[in-house]
A = this chain, B = another copy of it.
Amino acid sequence: MRFIKNVKILIVGLGLMGGSYAEALTDFGYEVGGLARRQEVIDYALNKGLIRHGRISADREYIGQFDIIVFALYPHVFIQWLEDYQEYIKSGALLTDVTGVKGSVVYKVQQLLRKDLEFIAAHPMAGRETSGIESATKEIFRGANYIVTPTDKNTAEAIESCKELGRVLGFKNIMELSPEEHDEMIGFLSQLTHCIAVSLMVCKDSRHLVSYTGDSFRDLTRIARINENMWSELFLLNKDELLKQMDLFSEKFGELRNYIEKDDIEGMKEMMRLSTERRGYFNE
């Protein structure tokens, strides 16, 4: 078991997710370092006690001291970083990430990685509508899901260490899926729902509707406040799966529209009974 008390952990990228990881791991007792692009981010993290030390440039000696490295970067930045700086990493170190799509990232990373390093992918299914280290808090992990997506290149020890990391961070459920299963699931549960929320929100300049709005519209559009840089990248990295899920939704929405247009009250009711039954599985 690699994930023991005296390891040193480096967080690369101190945004909402990296900052929240840093807080949870520091509070648990680890020595946590941080890499960020701007000094004020490092200063903020130091002042808040999220990290013990940090750097704004990839320093060979600094990076070389860590046993575990968590990449909390945009996917394309993550891959670029590895290409540029993986030579600085200590032999035998364990690498993991927080990326919201897996198939288009995991295999690429494992292929370009030095053979004496291991990358085990994970997706912490947590977040907030606001971004940046100022929004970071380990509270976002409470009650949330943490999914490890190993490939046949991963060792049992690394998989177990990654799950242990999820437990240390405070996630409620620690699960394992293949990258492909993960991407299908996330395409439906997360990306499609964000597409729906965004589309609904841009239908109208809804300012005049605010005072009439009950819970339904608010619930459906809460996630329409969205980090456009991150999500547009994630959508394209899971494009085929997402388009499939969008088309499935459009088909069902079109069916319902058809029932309404044709006054097919039985068709409507049938669909509503099914939706009521299935929503029942999810009762909080």
Contacts and interface: CB of A to CB of B under 8 A. Distances in A.
Contacts of A263: 236, 239
A261 interface: yes
The count of identical subunits is: 2
A121 to B, nearest CB: 16
B212 A125 contact: yes
A279 interface: yes
Interface residues of A, number: 85
Contacts of A236: 260, 263, 265
A252 interface: yes
Given A173-B211, A211-B145, A211-B175, A278 B202 contact: yes
B276 A203 contact: no
Contacts of A271: 198-199, 202
A265 B216 contact: no
A214 B256 CA distance: 26
Q: With a 10 A CB-CB cut-off, give which of A144, A207, A281 has the most chain B CB atoms.
A: A281
A37 B207 CA distance: 43
Nearest to A200: B249
B280 A214 contact: no
Interface in A178-227: 185, 188-190, 192-207, 209-226
A243 B260 contact: yes
A190 B203 contact: no
A109 to B, nearest CB: 22
A233 B226 CA distance: 35
A5 interface: no
Contact of A279 (B125, B201, B235, B239): B201
A273 B230 CA distance: 12
A189 B212 contact: yes
A193 B206 CA distance: 14
A211 B269 CA distance: 28
Contacts of A284: 218
A47 interface: no
Contacts of A125: 212, 214
A228 interface: yes
A197 to B, nearest CB: 7
Contacts of A189: 209, 212-214, 216-217
A245 to B, nearest CB: 8
A280 to B, nearest CB: 7
A225 B193 contact: no
Nearest to A274: B202
Contacts of A255: 199
6 contacts: A125-B212, A193-B219, A195-B257, A198-B256, A226-B272, A226-B276
